[in-house]
């Protein structure tokens, strides 16, 4: 069995050293960064710290060397073998024909030593960390392995005619089927930050309102008059929103320009290859036949401004199951909603979403039970609170303020719920076009899932006695994708649709 | 397809489980009262604590004791050579259809109470979701698993022939 490249030891030791120093400084920050540092204490402590750091670092060195010695891989005639681990050892064997996804990852430290990590997955795992096969090799070797494995997965073994497509590598911006331009990256950053700021602002306003009521109730007088209190609260809120926006803006810009640097989507025979990243370079390869669904999603602001992002749904790797997988499943990080058809037409023509053929059949079922219960609970709480306050002899002004605050809060909840229900009513629908199904759902946010009938596993319809009388039901479609994302709900449709889908399913 | 109702012994199992839960709820109520007494609460305070803890616990008790009967009434299941259908739910009624050819594997599980009453849960695993049929008699579960395996082999054979 061939061992991993020695660069693995060096790159990890370098990252371990950086990590150890950061942890070290974090724990002993008080000694080193005091306003008036005690030099005697520092001098006396330095040998102890150096020894402690050296012992910790020696443990890391021992572990990395042990990992290097006990790990390796081998490409046989029909399968790929991999063993790894020190205390918990993992031996994996994966037949070429069962290879599901091949991903190449290269961090900044890996680049420094010219190595890359190749993960090969059979689709039986939920996250990339659990991938059956891991190979750490020189960058060029990983590229060659990536192409060889792609060819081997088609042919099933080395004995057959292997067509290596190394010469056809098309990883340049010009050849890409989708371009994540700087303009798009800036827009993506602004919209992500604005969504975050909006959420914080709503939360902050509600907090200020509640604090205002509490202040009056407690009569603490710490912040002076009502006017002073609200000006102070508004300034604090604004400051917090601005500060968080600046931080998230920097984070988003880093993600857009560094994380998604040189974003390319290319076709390689029967594979789709997505490559991106500056500090950590990802090259994700998916077979077309392994793609089970395409999800087009829009957040609140994205929906309002007409933008969207597109993710792939495959068995094993998928988005929504972990931050690493968010990066793995991304197909198009940001585009105009009306460009989705055009972009998918180039990359995955069979997954271009169809126009809705059905609409939601009723409005009221979209108003959630939870909100109704919350409304009732708020109302009852209001009456009880007012009653207790009245019994305690609280003044009429205070009673009025509390009543207005709670009524205001209830109205906000009710209005947002009604609006969400209206948007849900407008969005929900389904299109069945031969072998393809497009499901639309969502309120403030919208999700469109496109999948093939052959990837539909089961159909469930959920209804209540009243809805049954009216002939309406919520469809729950179970797809052949990752266990955590394999349900697509299409609310409040005609119940005969479930029967049509069942027929398609059984055929 | 003829839909079947669950065996009467299933209701016994669900009531046994509900009784255990009810006892636990009563235990919580007694515990809360004991704490109030130990803390030297006045009669009025005890009354407030009794009402605050007692009303929700009483409502939960009612739901716990009524639900098994309602759930039993609404539950129905059935299968043929092509599909398995499960109907369940009291307020929100769900009807799930699982094609036999999508079955990956079948599981039969039993807890201590189920073993005592000779009952089993059947879990149908597919490539994306698991579907439970709760709860069948062990004989019925075994028969179902055997028949579904046979149907699955036939369906897979048919589909292979269709492809050829």
Cα distance between the two ends of chain A: 47
Mean pLDDT of A316-321: 49
Range picked from A211-215, A409-413, B36-40 for highest mean pLDDT: B36-40
Residue B25: which domain range?
8-73
DSSP letters for A337-380: GGGHHHHHHHH-GGGPPPPPS---S-SGGGS-HHHHHHHHHHHH
> Which residue from A460, A461, A483 is facing B128, i.e. has the nearest CB?
A483
Q: How many CB atoms lie within 10 A of CB A162?
A: 14
Over residues A243-283, the pLDDT tens digits come to 877 888 888 888 888 888 888 888 877 788 888 888 878 88
Torsion of CA A432, A435, A438, A439, to 10 degrees: 80
Identify whether residues B141 and B85 lie together within a single domain: yes
Domain boundary among the residues B25, B47, B73 is at B73
Is the reported ipTM for this assembly greater than 0.90?
A: no
Contacts with A364 (C-beta within 8 Å, 6 or more apart), sequence order: A421
B134, part of any domain: yes
Identify whether residues B100 and B52 lie together within a single domain: no
| A452 beta partners | A436
CB-CB under 8 Å, A465 with B93: yes
Nearest CA in chain B to A464: B92
pLDDT for residue A12: 86
Identify whether residues B157 and B114 lie together within a single domain: yes
Over residues A81-90, the pLDDT tens digits come to 888 888 777 7
Mean pLDDT of A104-120: 86
Question: H or E stretch including A473?
Answer: strand A472-479
For residue A458, the chain B residues in CB contact (below 8 A) are 96-99, 102, 126, 129, 131
Over residues B72-122, the pLDDT tens digits come to 999 999 998 888 999 999 888 999 999 888 887 888 888 888 999 999 999
Radius of gyration of chain A measured on its C-alpha atoms: 29
pLDDT for residue B9: 92
Q: How many separate domains does chain B show? A: 2
Residue A103 predicted with pLDDT over 60 = yes
pLDDT for residue B77: 93
Best of A318, A449, A457, A475 to disrupt the B interface (most B CBs within 10 Å) is A457
Identify whether residues B65 and B135 lie together within a single domain: no
SS3 content of chain A, % helix, strand, coil (to 5): 55, 25, 25
> What are A's interface residues with B at a Cβ cutoff of 8 A?
315, 457-465, 468, 476, 478-483, 486-487, 498, 502, 505-506
B45, part of any domain: yes
pLDDT for residue A437: 93
Domain boundary among the residues B73, B102, B127 is at B73
Distances in Å between the alpha carbon of A17 and those of A64, A112, A113?
12, 15, 15
Length of chain B: 164
Residue A131 predicted with pLDDT over 70 = no
Pairing of strands A79-84, A72-75: antiparallel
pLDDT for residue A319: 43
Mean pLDDT lowest among A285-299, A379-393, B82-96: A379-393
B55, part of any domain: yes
CATH of the domain at B83: 2.30.29
Identify whether residues B81 and B156 lie together within a single domain: yes
* B12 contacts chain A (CB < 8 A): no
Identify whether residues B44 and B106 lie together within a single domain: no
Over residues A410-450, the pLDDT tens digits come to 788 788 888 989 999 999 999 998 889 999 998 889 999 99
B1, part of any domain: no
The model carries a pTM of 0.72
* B98 contacts chain A (CB < 8 A): yes
Domain boundary among the residues B73, B98, B121 is at B73
- Best CA proximity match to A497, nearest among A464, A447, A462: A462
Over residues A445-476, the pLDDT tens digits come to 999 999 998 888 889 989 888 888 888 999 99
Identify whether residues B81 and B157 lie together within a single domain: yes
Identify whether residues B17 and B59 lie together within a single domain: yes
Range picked from A85-94, A130-139, A295-304 for highest mean pLDDT: A295-304
For residue A480, the chain B residues in CB contact (below 8 A) are 126-128
Residue A230 predicted with pLDDT over 80 = no
Identify whether residues B153 and B93 lie together within a single domain: yes
B3, part of any domain: no
Identify whether residues B138 and B88 lie together within a single domain: yes
For residue B83, the chain A residues in CB contact (below 8 A) are 502, 505-506
B63, part of any domain: yes
* B89 contacts chain A (CB < 8 A): yes
Pairs from A209-215 (Cβ < 8 Å, separation ≥ 24):
A209/A405, A209/A408, A209/A409, A210/A405, A212/A405, A213/A401, A213/A402, A213/A405
Which of helix, strand or coil describes residue A217?
A: helix
Which of helix, strand or coil describes residue B44?
A: helix
Identify whether residues B82 and B156 lie together within a single domain: yes
DSSP state, residue A257: I
Omega of the bond leading into A294 within 30 degrees of 0 (cis): no
pLDDT for residue A320: 43
Residue A324 predicted with pLDDT over 70 = no
Identify whether residues B142 and B82 lie together within a single domain: yes
Report the percent of chain B where pLDDT is more than 70.
Answer: 96
- From CA A488, how far away is CA A459, in angstroms rounded? 10
- From CA A21, how far away is CA A487, in angstroms rounded? 45
Q: What is the mean pLDDT of chain A?
A: 80
- From CA A103, how far away is CA A146, in angstroms rounded? 8
pLDDT for residue A163: 45
């Amino acid at each position: 069995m061939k061992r991993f490249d020695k660069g693995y030891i060096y790159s990890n030791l370098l990252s371990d050293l950086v990590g150890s120093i950061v942890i070290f400084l974090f724990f002993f920050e008080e000694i080193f960064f005091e306003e008036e540092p005690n030099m005697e204490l520092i001098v006396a402590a330095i040998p102890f710290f150096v020894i402690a750091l050296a012992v910790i670092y020696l443990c890391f060195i021992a572990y990395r060397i042990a990992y290097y010695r006990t790990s390796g891989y081998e490409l046989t005639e029909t399968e790929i073998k991999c063993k790894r681990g020190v205390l918990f050892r993992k031996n994996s064997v994966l037949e070429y024909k069962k290879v599901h996804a091949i991903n190449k990852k290269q961090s900044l430290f890996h680049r420094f030593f010219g190595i890359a990590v190749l993960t090969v997955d059979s689709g039986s795992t939920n996250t990339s960390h659990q991938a059956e096969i891991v190979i750490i090799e020189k960058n060029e070797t990983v590229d060659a392995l990536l192409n060889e494995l792609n060819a081997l997965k088609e042919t099933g073994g080395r004995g057959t005619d292997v067509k290596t497509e190394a010469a056809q590598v098309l990883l340049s911006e010009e050849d890409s089927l989708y371009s994540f331009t700087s303009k798009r990256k800036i827009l993506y950053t602004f919209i992500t930050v604005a969504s975050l700021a909006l959420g914080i602002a709503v939360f902050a306003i509600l907090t200020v309102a509640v604090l205002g009521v509490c202040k009056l109730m407690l009569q603490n007088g710490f912040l002076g008059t009502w006017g002073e209190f609200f000006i102070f609260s508004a300034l604090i809120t604004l400051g917090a929103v601005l500060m968080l926006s600046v931080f998230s803006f920097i984070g988003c810009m880093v993600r857009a320009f560094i994380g998604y640097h040189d974003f390319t989507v290319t076709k390689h025979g029967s594979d789709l290859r997505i490559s991106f990243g500056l500090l950590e370079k990802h090259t994700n390869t998916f077979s077309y036949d392994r793609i089970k669904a395409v999800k087009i999603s829009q957040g609140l602001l994205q929906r309002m401004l007409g933008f969207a992002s597109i993710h792939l749904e495959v068995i094993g790797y998928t988005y929504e199951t972990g931050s690493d997988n968010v990066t793995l499943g991304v197909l198009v990080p940001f585009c105009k909603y009306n460009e989705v058809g055009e972009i998918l037409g180039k990359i995955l023509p069979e997954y271009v979403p169809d126009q809705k053929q059905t609409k939601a059949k009723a409005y009221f079922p979209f108003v959630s039970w939870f909100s109704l219960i919350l409304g009732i609970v708020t109302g009852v709480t209001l009456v009880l609170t007012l009653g207790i306050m009245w019994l305690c002899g609280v003044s009429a002004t205070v009673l009025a303020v509390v009543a207005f605050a709670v009524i205001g809060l209830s109205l906000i909840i009710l209005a947002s719920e009604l609006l969400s229900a209206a948007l849900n009513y407008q969005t929900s629908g389904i299109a069945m076009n031969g072998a393809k199904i497009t499901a639309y759902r969502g309120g403030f946010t919208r999700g469109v899932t496109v999948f093939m009938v052959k990837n539909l596993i089961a159909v469930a319809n959920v209804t209540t006695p009243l809805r049954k009388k009216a002939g309406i039901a919520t469809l729950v479609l179970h797809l052949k994708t990752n266990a955590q994302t394999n349900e697509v709900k299409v609310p409040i449709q005609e119940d005969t649709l479930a029967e049509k889908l069942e027929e398609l399913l059984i055929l | 397809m003829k839909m079947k109702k669950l065996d009467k012994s299933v209701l016994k199992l669900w009531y046994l489980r509900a009784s255990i839960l009810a006892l636990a709820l009563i235990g919580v109520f007694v515990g809360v009262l004991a704490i109030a007494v130990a803390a030297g609460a006045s009669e009025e305070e005890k009354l407030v604590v009794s009402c605050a803890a007692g009303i929700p616990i009483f409502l939960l008790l009612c739901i716990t004791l009524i639900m098994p009967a309602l759930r039993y009434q609404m539950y129905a299941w059935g299968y043929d050579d092509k599909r398995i259908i499960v109907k369940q739910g009291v307020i929100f009624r769900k009807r799930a259809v699982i094609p036999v050819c999508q079955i990956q594997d079948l599981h039969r599980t039993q807890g201590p109470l189920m073993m005592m009453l000779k009952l089993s849960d059947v879990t149908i695993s597919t490539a994306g979701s698991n579907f439970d049929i709760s709860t069948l008699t062990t004989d019925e579960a075994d028969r179902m698993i055997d028949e579904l395996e046979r149907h699955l082999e036939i369906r897979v054979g048919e589909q292979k022939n269709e492809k050829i």
